[in-house]
Amino acid sequence: MADEEPTSIWTQPEAHERSGPGRRPGYSREQITRTAVKIADAEGVEAATMRRIAGELGTGAMSLYRYVPRRDDLFDLMIDLAMSEIELPDDPSGDWRADLTLLAWQTRAAGLRHPWLIALLTSRPTLGPNLLRVHELALSAFNGTGLDIDDITGFVGMLNDYVHSAIHREIGWLEEARRTGLDPERWKRDYMGPYVRQIVESGAFPLFNRSVLDSRTAHLAPEERFRHGLDRILDAIAALIPSLSPR
Amino acid sequence: MADEEPTSIWTQPEAHERSGPGRRPGYSREQITRTAVKIADAEGVEAATMRRIAGELGTGAMSLYRYVPRRDDLFDLMIDLAMSEIELPDDPSGDWRADLTLLAWQTRAAGLRHPWLIALLTSRPTLGPNLLRVHELALSAFNGTGLDIDDITGFVGMLNDYVHSAIHREIGWLEEARRTGLDPERWKRDYMGPYVRQIVESGAFPLFNRSVLDSRTAHLAPEERFRHGLDRILDAIAALIPSLSPR
DNA sequence: GCCATTCAGGTACCATGTACGCAAATAGCA
DNA sequence: TGCTATTTGCGTACATGGTACCTGAATGGC
């Protein structure tokens, strides 16, 4: 039963409820994944090392390898666990805009709860069951609009691009502050601040300056900023749907 | 001159042309960065280790630390070097759509030449001079359209989101194949293929199935796919610009 | 020609993923 | 009730990574 061949973790389900000889497993994929998620939430993914996770569970690092082939696979499991928190109806409501709005806010909530989620998600081409579930609902929101599948995937892609990068921006410098070990306020003032001020004062990039100095949305609460961008993307999609266009 | 304080590398320019006592530097930031880029292009960022870069230059790993504070800063320098290859006019042409199209294709070209670029760019909030230059041109493309700065940054963000994630998708599984050490063809067939087939055959996600089986754009050449998506985003932006709308 | 200063880079330390191997546990069978 | 095949638990060990520290070599000014 040697699997020399590297295969996706989703094709290697956990051996459940075995009935034969041999010691019973003392842990589980889910338990390990939950522990990893807990650590990553509190201290960042880079803190969720095999030894650390094992330590948290009161065991040795190598024990984990009975449940997870490689650390990268654990990332896939973490992503899927986080995605499982996204609560959506089983079927689309018929109002694509409402469905996608709900999906966007749910995704944002999960992304803020697990600041590593979006970075992992966009860095690994993974297709866990919960990602599939969410994606399926996104696609099905456009059912009945008369769009063909290419347009639908295109629009869902547009929305996902926005949602992911908006969350990324919202978290980005917060995470960077944590990684460098400074508290967010100091990071902004002492680390990035002086450089940005220097750029602004140089006057070399006038529109960048305006985007820093004259921006109104920059001073909005994060939720409002997210809502603004989301509405704009949904407006854009609406404008591209021929059957909705006045023309 | 102890800098205990962590500061952005852009506020710590290289000490050029010193006139005092002491040995002359034998290397330079740029030389080190170019070497790192060359290695990363050929074997991935993870191969561009301090030892490896130093080895390529015929020196010891620790010598690099005279020029670059930390490896992360080297990433910022690599990003900026790659961005410097993006060739753009100094001033917008007056045709925002043409300018942004050029920018998108130039960005794609750089992203394909340096498969690590987009991943690093989206994972690090960096503001190197060349990124600023490119961003400034993107913003200035909308000068004269009567849009306020918040709308402009919003539209530029929409475009960037698309361009980055489209390149990411185009490279994504290719990079994953390289990381796992399989050649791309085998990776698709043996690694991801069986799982996708299993999902499709389960029939659990009908629209996902259609997006896999009935998609026409999936079979387009990568350039055409990119062009399609780009046109759609630009159409969407155009539709959102009030002064261009028929209404 | 001496000296303060700067660079080169070897050595060393610690953290990480993980291959290997053996001990412990367990269910079926004698 | 042992015996055995099988499976898990996990200590040890190795390779590889970033980088702190330190010594010696080079260099321009006095």
Residue in this structure with the two tokens 């960022």, named with its chain if needed: B45
Predicted pLDDT at A193? 75
Three-state SS at A82: helix
Predicted pLDDT at A173? 75
Dump pLDDT digits (tens) for B48-102.
999 999 999 999 999 999 999 999 999 999 999 999 999 999 999 999 999 999 9
**Which residues on chain A are in Cβ contact (under 8 Å) with B133?**
205
Residue A77 (CA) to nucleotide D1 (C1'), in angstroms, measures 44
User: CA–CA separation, A48 vs A45, rounded Å?
Assistant: 5
| Cross-chain Cβ contact A6/B182 below 8 Å | yes
User: Do A112 and A71 contact (CB within 8 A), yes or no?
Assistant: no
Question: Measuring CA to CA, how many Å separate A214 from each of A207, A218, A219, B90, B150?
Answer: 10, 9, 10, 23, 8
Among all strands, which nt has the closest C1' to B51 (CA)? Answer: D17
State whether the beta carbon of A62 lies below 7 angstroms from any atom of strand D. yes
* Minimal CA separation from B212 to chain A, in Å: 9
* Minimal CA separation from B31 to chain A, in Å: 24
State whether the beta carbon of A60 lies below 7 angstroms from any atom of strand D. yes
User: CA–CA separation, B91 vs B140, rounded Å?
Assistant: 8
> What are A208's two structure tokens?
């960048």
Mean pLDDT of A89-100: 95
User: Do B217 and B210 contact (CB within 8 A), yes or no?
Assistant: no
Among B220, B238, B194, B176, which Cα is nearest to A153's?
A: B220
User: CA–CA separation, B54 vs B57, rounded Å?
Assistant: 5
Between A242 and B207, residue with greater pLDDT: B207
* Minimal CA separation from B15 to chain A, in Å: 18
Contacts of residue B231, defined as CB under 8 A and 6 or more positions apart, other chains included, come to none
Predicted pLDDT at B2? 32
> 201-230 in A: which are within 8 Å (CB) of B?
204-208, 210-211, 214-217, 228-229
Choose the closest CB to A161 out of B150, B162, B211: B162
Mean pLDDT of B157-177: 89
Predicted pLDDT at A6? 58
Strand C nucleotides, any atom under 7 Å to a protein CB: 3-12, 15-21, 24-28
**Predicted TM-score of the model (pTM):** 0.90
Write the DSSP assignment of A107-131 as a string of letters: HHHHHHHSTTHHHHHHHS----HHH
Predicted pLDDT at B154? 94
Name the band, by pLDDT with cuts 50, 70 and 90, for residue B14: confident
User: CA–CA separation, A170 vs A110, rounded Å?
Assistant: 13
Q: What single DSSP character describes residue A188?
A: I
Give the 3-state DSSP-derived string for chain B, with helices as H, strands as E and coil as C. CCCCCCCCHHHCCCCCCCCCCCCCCCCCHHHHHHHHHHHHHHHCHHHCCHHHHHHHHCCCHHHHHHCCCCHHHHHHHHHHHHHCCCCCCCCCCCCHHHHHHHHHHHHHHHHHHCCCHHHHHHHCCCCCHHHHHHHHHHHHCCCCCCCCHHHHHHHHHHHHHHHHHHHHHHHHHHHHHHHHCCCHHHHHHHHHHHHHHHHHHHCCCHHHHHHHHCCCHHHCCHHHHHHHHHHHHHHHHHHHCHHHCCC
CA atoms within 13 A on the CB side of A20: 3
pLDDT higher than 90, residue A189: no
**Which residues on chain B are in Cβ contact (under 8 Å) with A119?**
123
State whether the beta carbon of A43 lies below 7 angstroms from any atom of strand C. no
Residue in chain A closest to B153 (alpha carbons) equals A211
Name the band, by pLDDT with cuts 50, 70 and 90, for residue B245: low
Interface test with B, best of A88, A140, A150, A240 (most B CBs within 10 A): A150
Name the band, by pLDDT with cuts 50, 70 and 90, for residue B174: confident
State whether the beta carbon of B62 lies below 7 angstroms from any atom of strand D. yes
State whether the beta carbon of B110 lies below 7 angstroms from any atom of strand D. no
Question: Measuring CA to CA, how many Å separate B54 from each of B32, B44, B46, B109, B215?
Answer: 8, 16, 15, 28, 47
Angle between helices A149-180 and A96-113 (to 10 degrees): 20
Predicted pLDDT at A111? 97
Name the band, by pLDDT with cuts 50, 70 and 90, for residue B217: confident
Mean pLDDT over all residues of chain B?
89
